[in-house]
Structures are given as C-alpha cells and as structure tokens.
A = this chain, B = another copy of it.
C-alpha cells in the first residue's frame, strides 16, 4: 500500500500564480523556486526594478539597466517557475483563475498578488503629463529629459534674448521621493551644471518642495524631519508645508490663488494601490489596498496572499508602510506559508501553520543630495542619524540588504563607479525636445542678463 504512493505519480503538485515582479513577487518566487510547487509569475515588464534607486536614474546618475534585472534571469535556476510577460485583468475566485490581457487563463491553488501602486493625482489625471511621477523606468527617463532640457533651453534662450525663465523646479509632495528628487536636482544644478554652461548660472536654479501637510517626511520622527529641513536648506532647497496645490498648468502651479512658476513640475504627492486589489471583490481601503489578516490573506481567502503596497496590513495599531522592506518580507512569508500549507496537505508536516506575518522593521532612510541623509534606525539598535553618517548607512544598506540578487556584485560595481565618479555618461536627453509651457513663459519675468551679441567676439 505504501508502495503505490512511491511508484505512482503522487498527488498533483500545487500551482501558484504570482502577479507582479516587484519586491514582493520576486522574493516570493525565489523562495517558491525551491519548493515542490509549480509557479507562474506574470508581469507586464520583463524586468524587476530596484525602485529605491530609481530617482538616481531620473537624475542621470545611473542608467536604467543598472537598477533593473530581467525576471527570467532571477529564476533561471528554478525549472518549476514559468515567467509570462502579460497583464492580469481579472479574477474568478470561485474557479480560482486569473484572466490575462491576452486571453490566457491561469488556474491556481495559491495566488500571490503583489502589483504595488501607481501615482494618484487625486482625480486630476490631466496633471499626469504636466507633472510626471516616479514609478517606472519610462517615468525616470522622462524626468531626466525634462530636468536636463530645462538647462539647455535656458542657455539657448539666454544666448538669443539675454533672458530666460527662472529655473524653478517644483516638486509636489514632501515624502521620501520628493525629498530625494529635490536633493538630487539641487546637486545637479549646484555642482555639475555650473561647469557646463557659459551663459546661464545653473546655481541660480531654485528647487521648491510643496507639501500639503504640516511636515515633510511624515513617517519619520520629528527630530529627523528637522534635520532633513536643515540639510535641504543647505542644498538651497526651499520647503513650503501646508501648501495645497489647486492646479497644475504648463509652466506653473497654483497654490490656492498664488501662482508659482515652474519650468519643471514633478509629482511625488500621492499613490494609489494597483486596481487589481479592487478587482478581487474584497474589502479595500481608500487607496485601494486590500485589508489582509495576519496570514496576509483577504478575509475568507486563505489561498490568496497580498504582498507589498497592495496590502493594507496593520501591526501594533499602525499600517505597515508601502516601501521595499515590508514587501520583501511579505513575499518571503507568503512563499513560506504556501510551503507549510502544501507540506501539511501532503501529510508530512502540520507544524507552524498558524505563525502570523510580522513586519521586522529595520528602519527607514532617505537621502538628501549626495552627502547627506536621514536614517530612522530600528535595528540592530535604535538610533536617529542624519548627515553623512546616515548617507553612508544608506549606501551600505542598499548594497548589502537590498540588492539581494545573483548579480549583486556586478550591479554594485557598475553603480558605485558611476555614482562615486558622477561620470557624465548618463546625462542624456532622449525623446522630444519640448517642455510643456516653455514657450508661454517667454514673456514672464525671469532671469535676465546682457543678451549675447551673436556677432561680437567673446573674450
């Protein structure tokens, strides 16, 4: 009797479908690759993106390829994993199927949903073109294009007319992304652009953060918020809190009745969860994130796991934030949990089935320019660091904890080289050579100087 099980094909292997190749999905899939299950990972992209460094692509420090990793190469050693470049568009939770855009239906025994979040323009989607956010490689190269192009257009206009619109860069939102973008733009203007332009003074560029709430970096303790404000001030970044943006137009933004000119406007204000959460038909919060229990399951669905930004998970009365660490831990937890469930089903192990997910918070960090950061450290000791020590910590953590893939070394080597030397290579303007609102700004008060007499010799 026992023999038949050994010679037969045994019970059918469980099928796991993972939707999303971000931190949640990729950590789940590499853990599931070692388990006796069949896995299909679906993503619209062919690569996993190391999002914490995306702002460095936007500001021309890194190339997209430095922080992206083809998903197929991550699962190359796991023959039980399929990768499908496709998009989930619906679910049948009764039949346990995922519907894909191309018409494929995937059946699952377990589903891991980790499709993250997108920008929220609070119902004003027409602002998206005027104030791009930073979620994708395309977003990053678009921001890079706009920021670099502003200096080029100003130089050209200065040579032609002896005046150019003030180089105001307005960042809407004072969270970590807004602060990191602001610091990096200021660095570019103050340190690097000044070497390259003859007629404009790039150091006159103004970077302004508009934050609707009373504080920037609301997730950080108050002393670090203060430190961040100081460090931003040292980089000549201005911060206005309580500034509710009422309109975004080509060339300017409105804060209440006040008009603020902007050659480039960037969006770092709001995110909403991927629409797939709502498609499940389970309860979501106002951002569209799915309420999950201690097993990361939506109520009544022990076979579905929600990971990362898409999950609304509360711990000690606080919602776990939508950053990389929780997503990674959730992905690993979901994989381990599926492993335990499968093993229990197979009768070999029933232990630990009720161990619940607990976010192990090591802390949060945000860089402010090239030499400073704020770090709210929770582990291995509690500390609030700022300035250069925090920046060094950020560097080490991003190398050793976050770039946790097979080519960690090669990615880091490229990255460190580019970043430490601030080589010029990535400072490319690709695509269109237009900036929204640039021409309409010609009659605005701007920076003026003696027009260059194109016919007179320079000295």
A-to-B contact residues, CB < 8 Å: 12-13, 15, 38, 44-47, 63-66, 68-70, 72-73, 76, 79-80, 82-86, 102-107, 137-138, 148, 152-153, 155-156, 159-160, 195-199, 407, 410-411, 413-414, 417-418, 421, 423-431, 433, 454-458
A261 to chain B, nearest CB (A): 21
Docked-complex contact A69 and B417, CB < 8 angstroms: no
Partner of A84 from the list B12, B155, B458 (CB cut-off 8 Å) is B155
- Give Cα A308 to B112, complex, Å: 57
- Give Cα A70 to B12, complex, Å: 58
A153 to chain B, nearest CB (A): 8
Residue of A13, A106, A423 with most chain B CB atoms under a 10 A cut-off: A423
Given contacts A68-B425, A152-B46, A198-B82, contact A104 B454 (CB under 8 A): yes
18 A-B contacts (beta carbon < 8 Å): A13-B457, A13-B458, A15-B455, A38-B458, A46-B428, A63-B63, A70-B196, A70-B428, A73-B427, A84-B155, A84-B159, A85-B152, A85-B155, A85-B429, A105-B454, A107-B455, A137-B428, A407-B423
Residues of chain B within 8 A (CB-CB) of A458 are 13, 38, 79-80, 82
Given contacts A417-B410, A425-B411, contact A430 B85 (CB under 8 A): no
Which single residue of chain B is at the shortest CB-CB distance from A198? B82
Given contacts A46-B152, A64-B430, A414-B418, contact A107 B454 (CB under 8 A): yes
Residues of chain B within 8 A (CB-CB) of A427 are 46-47, 65, 70, 73
Residues of chain B within 8 A (CB-CB) of A69 are 424-425
Docked-complex contact A46 and B13, CB < 8 angstroms: no
Given contacts A44-B433, A138-B430, A417-B414, contact A104 B15 (CB under 8 A): no
Other than the given A44-B433, A72-B196, A410-B417, 12 more pairs (CB < 8 A) read A45-B429, A47-B427, A63-B66, A72-B197, A73-B195, A80-B458, A85-B153, A86-B156, A104-B159, A137-B430, A414-B414, A414-B425
Which single residue of chain B is at the shortest CB-CB distance from A426? B65
A440 to chain B, nearest CB (A): 15
Residues of chain B within 8 A (CB-CB) of A152 are 46, 85
Given contacts A63-B63, A424-B73, contact A429 B46 (CB under 8 A): yes
Docked-complex contact B84 and A425, CB < 8 angstroms: no
Partner of A424 from the list B15, B407, B454 (CB cut-off 8 Å) is B407
Which single residue of chain B is at the shortest CB-CB distance from A439? B102
Docked-complex contact B156 and A428, CB < 8 angstroms: no
- Give Cα A153 to B104, complex, Å: 13
Which single residue of chain B is at the shortest CB-CB distance from A81? B198
Residues of chain B within 8 A (CB-CB) of A45 are 429
Residues of chain B within 8 A (CB-CB) of A197 are 72
Given contacts A426-B65, A454-B104, contact A413 B407 (CB under 8 A): no
A141 to chain B, nearest CB (A): 8
A69 to chain B, nearest CB (A): 6
Residues of chain B within 8 A (CB-CB) of A79 are 198, 458
Partner of A433 from the list B64, B85, B103, B455 (CB cut-off 8 Å) is B85
Docked-complex contact A196 and B76, CB < 8 angstroms: yes
Docked-complex contact A410 and B414, CB < 8 angstroms: no
